[in-house]
Homo-oligomer: A and B are copies of this chain.
Amino acid sequence: MSEQKKKTTIVLFSGDYDKAMAAYIIANGAAAYDHEVTIFHTFWGLNALRKDELVHVKKGFLENLFGKMMPQGADKMGLSKMNFAGMGPKMIKHVIKKHNAMTLPQLIEMAQEQGVKLVACTMTMDLLGLQKEELLHDIEYAGVAAYLGDAENGNVNLFI
């Protein structure tokens, strides 16, 4: 029966709040329709998986710099448009609350509850100097081969 399940596989490359929202809304929708869903986080998309507290890990100079400059967790991400030095995300979060929609951290939590497979790309974790201790619990770690294994039999494949 699991063979007949539809499959949705999303590469989340972007580190923008709005694009990550779109990815997680589609993922949660697909999971609700009983798809087998994977979000493969790579490059800036990894920041959606960062814990929002400061985690002390030993890093090289550049890796430390990347870690400091990148948003620390989903709630700190900016918008792809109309970011206005951080005002845009405040506006979006305000209308989300007003319309009883879900914030990005809530969407991620829901995805985990629904069994969406959240994968962190180990190659780009290396490049950006992100370590497992810095990321959320219950994440899987894999590379492009695992992504292709999921995607090549998929129904909905997206790069966001």
Measured CB to CB, the residues of A under 8 A from B are 6, 8, 11, 13-15, 18-19, 22, 25-26, 29-30, 33, 35, 42-44, 60, 62-63, 65-66, 69-70, 80-82, 91-92, 94-96, 98-99, 101, 123, 126-129, 144-145, 147-148, 151-160
Say yes or no: B151 contacts A156, CB within 8 Å.
yes
Q: Are B43 and A144 in contact (CB under 8 A)?
A: no
Complex CA–CA separation, A155 to B147 (angstroms)? 13
One complex includes copies of this chain to the number of 3
Flag if B123 contacts A33 (CB, 8 Å).
no
Query: Complex formed: what's the CA distance from A92 to B63 in Å?
Result: 10
Interface residue from B19, B25, B95, B148 paired with A129 (Cβ < 8 Å): B95
When the two chains form their complex, are residues B91 and A62 in contact, meaning their CB atoms are under 8 A apart? yes
Contact A158 B11 (CB under 8 A): yes
Least Cβ–Cβ distance between A146 and chain B, in angstroms: 10
- Residues of B within 8 Å of A70, CB to CB, are 82
> Measured between C-beta atoms, what is the minimum distance from A120 to chain B in Å?
14
Tell me the bound Cα distance from A110 to B49 in angstroms. Answer: 31
A101 to B124 CA separation, bound complex (whole angstroms): 10
Determine if A95 and B63 form an interchain contact, defined as CB atoms under 8 angstroms apart: yes
Q: How far is the CB of A57 from chain B (nearest CB, A)?
A: 16
